Chains A and B, each alone.
Chain A
Amino acid sequence: MAKKKMLEAREVKREYIMGKTVVRALRGVDIDIEQGEFVFIIGPSGSGKSTIMHILGALDHQTAGSVTLDGKEMARMSDWQLSMIRRNKIGFIFQNFNLVPSLNAIENVMLPLMTSDMNKTVLEARAIKLLKLVGLGHRIHHRPTELSGGERQRVAVARSLINEPEIILADEPTGELDTKTGTGIMQLMRKLCKEKGTTFVIVTHDTEYIQKGDKIFHIRDGLINQEIYKGGKVIE
């Protein structure tokens, strides 16, 4: 069965100028992600894994090469168009949860669509459903400071789902959690991928979880070192 191509990166390069030196964060990366896949990007710190995630997530522009989402080239989009892509098609999960401290769980979940024209009641109902889905039905009015690390990340997962995104990008989602909690979050994301068909791209340096992946990109020094498919089969 041919899957729909979701994200495609070709020869993506990203250079930064830091003082007088040019940092080549990405030196020609190719990545293909199909709909419904559970994908890992792994690599040591400084390898460029976060950079590629930002580019895939419409948060950053590449210096050269092309990135297409649903067949549309993102390099040519305006700031507003990219905001709309992030609002409508992409969900984000961050290492340090990045919840807004003044808002409670349900408000944090609604945040991405708070500025859309969506009906408030519909939005609230959807947020409650998602908080229940991630196991926080009893905590919807708690502020982030009243929640544990694992619970905060669950709020963040619920938030990433509020816009019913086609793809969720997670940057070290288990980085600040203990192993048990981290495994719980990982299982939750795997379940959502299976049940909702949402594509997940997870950046991690935690190799413990990657057996669960459909596709694993190993990035090193700004290049894809290996593309490992499920079952440990290595393809150069």
Chain B
Amino acid sequence: MLRMALQNLLRKKSRTILAMLALIIGVMTIISLISITEGVKGRVTDVVSQMKGIVVTQEDVFMPTLSRLETSDINKIESIPGVSVAAPRIVGQIMLLKEGEKRSMTAQPFSIYGLDPAKEALTKKGSLPTGGTILRGRALKSGDTKAVVLDEDTAKDEKKLVGSKIELGGNKYTVVGLAEAVGGAGRMAVVPISEARDILEVPTDKITGIYVETNNPEDDKKIARLIEAKIDDSSAQTTEDFAQQLMGMLSNIDAFLWVISTISIVVGGLGIINTMLMSVRERKKEFGVLKAIGWTQENILQLVMYESILIGILGGIIGVTLGWIAVQIAKPLLGISIMTVTPSLAIQATLFAIIVGVIGGIYPAWETSRLDPIKAMSDR
């Protein structure tokens, strides 16, 4: 009977595909969205785990690169009891151009991290996303000029080794070290703060942020509040604050995914009900004959359910495949390298499609099984 159901589906290929379409799109959407959020979650967890201490930025800025603080704020923070070190930061993004290029459509945003090597040496662990682990060469040190530490991925992409030159904002820099590329940190160059000021055109009295470490991490929260009180329009966030914020954001994404999934189920289910109904009503006569020659209601119910479930299985497999392809295409575009379609996600999405197939088949199967054979056979 399974073969018969398959043959019935193959008889009207275009309609079968149409029935599957809504399902395919639904599965595809779920696959790509879930793998994106899983990617984002992984990235966030990685970044958060790298962070220590307190990060001070301007209050209510959209991005850390837009934040501006006074250079003199560093001294104000260091005067707070319990603060062990306050290290300035100038972060920003530039487009990394190939040699000789004026502009490029394919250039990717590239992060510049300017820091003060002398202050950095006083921190327990570098707050940078690279984690401070130097793979080759050395870290920046006091007195460095026109020196840069690249992450290993960028070095590989740009074919740079320790000792190579790289052009950043119109000036040539010597690569002194390669740092470990921590998942999701993106492409970056760490330079002395004065150089970052140059590249990003930040005036001498301004910085974008301050990284603060305390003598006792348990006081972080308290000290963060003191910093905010002392510096106007500032926001001091502890790792814990960040984690809480991010987790809140992620749970919103999860809720959003649930809504999308529910919509997909409804749309996919309706698509199947619609096409299956059309299909079984068209074949009324055939079902009438089956009933007349001794098929029971259950047999007919089973046949229609098989057809519907097959649509679910095929739609699920095609949807997962297309979703996987979409993820492969999106990966480089979004720059989220952790994005993957895990086997369990693929299986779950296929199961979901099969369930939609079952639900979508119930009504058409029920209606067909109750056909009066005589009326059905006289149907033209």
Contacts and interface: CB of A to CB of B under 8 A. Distances in A.
Contacts of A98: 285-286, 289, 292, 377
Interface in A73-91: 79-80, 83-84, 86-88, 90-91
A130 to B, nearest CB: 14
Interface residues of A, number: 29
Contacts of B294: 83-84, 86-88, 90, 112-113, 163
Interface in A38-84: 54, 57, 59-60, 79-80, 83-84
Interface in B10-33: 10-11
B374 A112 contact: no
B377 A114 contact: no
Interface string B292-323: 11111101001000000000000000000000
B293 A59 contact: no
A79 B297 contact: yes
B4 A94 contact: no
A147 interface: no
A223 B348 CA distance: 64
B1 interface: yes
A98 B286 CA distance: 7
B11 A101 contact: yes
Interface string B31-70: 0000000000000000000000000000000000000000
A102 B7 contact: yes
B290 interface: yes
Nearest to A86: B294
B373 interface: yes
Contact-residue size bin, chain B (C-beta under 8 Å from the other chain)? 20 to 34
B374 A54 contact: yes
A94 B374 contact: no
A111 B296 CA distance: 12
A92 interface: yes
B291 interface: yes
Given A94-B377, A114-B1, A86 B293 contact: yes
Contacts of A112: 293-295
Given A59-B373, A102-B8, A111 B293 contact: yes
A103 interface: yes
B297 A59 contact: no
Nearest to B378: A50
Interface of A: 54, 57, 59-60, 79-80, 83-84, 86-88, 90-92, 94, 98, 100-103, 107, 111-115, 159-160, 163
18 contacts: A59-B373, A83-B291, A86-B292, A92-B292, A100-B289, A102-B7, A102-B10, A103-B4, A107-B4, A111-B293, A112-B293, A112-B294, A112-B295, A115-B1, A115-B299, A159-B293, A160-B293, A163-B294
